[in-house]
């Protein structure tokens, strides 16, 4: 594949399951050597899209090319050029680390002369040196995920698809996993990753926000936060949260309000006016306010703002 060519090109991709539309007229490109994120809640169509791009599922309409190859015309050729890691742990727990590596090396037709060098590369990259004889099932979840990623790239594919790779992984292991992804990108690999963790999207070079099968925004994390908030964001520290939320919903100047941890994030048309008015409004409802201040939006705030008027996400069919 030419390094100047896009790694993935998707044009008006649609996938229907009877009357259910899982992916709805989606178009985007993934550039060579970038981390491209597909961000959205469960049921938004992320996994369905990634299965189409990996040649595992045929689209109902539209086109997609991966590594310059049409995914419908040549799905086997696509699978030879990619690495794929599913959200469900895909290795064999009753095999040792080294045995899983040898098995997947055979599955991906890694030449025998390259096996030792590739295995050493994966063990070093995944931080598993000295653990080659450990049973895979005995490893902590974070180590298992790093091993699964290593097995997915044993054949040195130019593109790797990661479907919810850190689901169920603790925060420290999630950070280590992303450090591993950045190492791979440094070696020229393109990474396409789906996630429902909003904080993980900050690690991506560009990302798509997906809701109910449709793209609601596309850009860098900074671009999404600067361009796609409907108003300004104010954080309100108060007690109790339930009555405070009820009081703010529909109040003048309030565009949206939601609970974020132990505070409220409130989207307003004028932050300075809201900082004055919100304590007055909540005080009249016997809500104790300790702090009100303007804050920069997170990607979660942007996503909530963009999807506030849409229906709740649907259950994932595939």
Most distant CA atoms of the chain, gap in Å: 76
Q: Note the residue count of the chain.
A: 318
Here the tokens at position 286 are: 């016997």
* 134: exposed, middle or buried (Cβ count in 10 Å: 0-12, 13-18, 19+): middle
CATH number of 230-296: 3.30.70.100
Which pLDDT does position 314 carry in this prediction?
Answer: 44
Decide if 164 contacts 87 (C-beta within 8 A).
yes
Q: Which of 75, 79, 42 is nearest to 59 (CA)?
A: 75
Which of 48, 54, 7 is closest to 28 using CA atoms? 7
Q: Provide CB contacts within 8 A for 317, sequence distance 6+.
A: 17, 20, 22, 48
CB-based contacts of 170, cutoff 8 Å, min separation 6? 141, 142
What pLDDT shows up at residue 170? 81
Q: What are 156-190's pLDDT values in tens digits? A: 999 999 988 887 778 888 888 898 899 889 988 99
Going by C-beta distance under 8 Å and a sequence separation of 6 or more, which residues neighbour residue 175? Answer: none
Domain ranges of the chain: 8-225, 230-296
CATH class of 8-225: alpha beta
H helices present in 153-298, as ranges: 171-186, 221-227, 241-248, 271-283
Q: What is the reported pTM?
A: 0.83
Could you count the other beta carbons within 10 Å of the beta carbon of residue 99? Answer: 16
Contact 149, 85 (CB under 8 A): yes
pLDDT 10s digits, 40-56: 888 899 999 999 999 99
Q: What is the mean pLDDT of residues 87-94?
A: 80
Residue 107 gets the label, from left (phi > 0), alpha (psi -120 to 50) or beta, of alpha
Task: For residue 317, give both structure tokens.
Answer: 């069919």
Terminal-residue alpha carbon distance, the chain: 30
More confident call, 317 vs 124: 124
Same CATH fold, 230-296 and 8-225?
Answer: no
pLDDT tens per residue across span 222-273: 999 888 888 899 999 999 999 999 999 989 999 989 999 899 999 999 999 9
Residues 31 and 207: their CA atoms lie apart, in Å, by: 11
pLDDT (tens digit, 9 = 90+) per residue, 295-315?
999 888 888 888 765 544 444
Q: What is the pLDDT of residue 245?
A: 96
| Per-chain mean pLDDT for the chain | 90
Q: Average pLDDT for residues 274-286, to the nearest whole number? A: 96
Sign of CA dihedral 24, 194, 265, 263: positive
Q: Round to whole Å and give the CA distance between 191 and 31.
A: 10
Pairing of strands 69-70, 288-294: unpaired
Question: Cβ of 208: how many Cβ atoms within 10 Å?
Answer: 25
């Amino acid at each position: 594949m030419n390094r100047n060519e896009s790694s993935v090109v998707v044009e008006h991709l649609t996938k229907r399951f009877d009357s259910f539309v899982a992916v709805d007229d989606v178009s985007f490109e993934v550039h060579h050597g970038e981390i491209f994120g597909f961000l959205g809640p469960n049921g938004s169509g992320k996994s369905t899209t990634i299965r189409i791009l990996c040649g595992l599922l045929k689209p109902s309409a539209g086109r997609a090319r991966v590594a310059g190859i049409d995914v419908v015309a040549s799905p086997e050729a696509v699978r030879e050029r990619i690495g794929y890691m599913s959200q469900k742990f895909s290795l064999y727990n009753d095999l040792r680390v080294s045995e899983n590596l040898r098995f997947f090396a055979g599955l991906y037709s890694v030449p025998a002369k390259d096996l030792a060098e590739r295995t050493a590369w994966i063990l070093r990259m995944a931080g598993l040196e000295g653990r080659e004889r450990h049973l895979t099932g005995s490893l902590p979840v974070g180590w298992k995920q790093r091993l699964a990623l290593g097995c997915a790239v044993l054949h040195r594919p130019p593109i790797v698809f990661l479907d919810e790779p850190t689901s169920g992984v603790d925060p420290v292991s999630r950070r280590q996993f992303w450090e591993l992804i950045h190492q791979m990108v440094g070696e020229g690999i393109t990474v396409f990753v789906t996630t429902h963790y909003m904080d993980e999207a900050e690690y991506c070079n560009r990302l798509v926000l997906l809701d109910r099968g449709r793209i609601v925004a596309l850009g860098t994390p900074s671009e999404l936060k600067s361009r796609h908030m409907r108003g300004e964001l104010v954080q309100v520290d108060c007690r109790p949260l339930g009555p405070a939320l009820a009081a703010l919903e529909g109040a003048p100047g309030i565009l949206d309000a939601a609970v974020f941890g132990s505070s409220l994030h409130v989207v307003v048309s004028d932050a300075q006016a809201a900082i004055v008015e919100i304590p007055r409004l909540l005080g009249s409802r016997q809500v104790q306010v300790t702090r009100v201040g303007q804050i920069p939006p997170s990607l979660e705030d942007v996503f909530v703002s963009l999807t506030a008027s849409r229906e709740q996400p649907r259950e994932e069919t595939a």
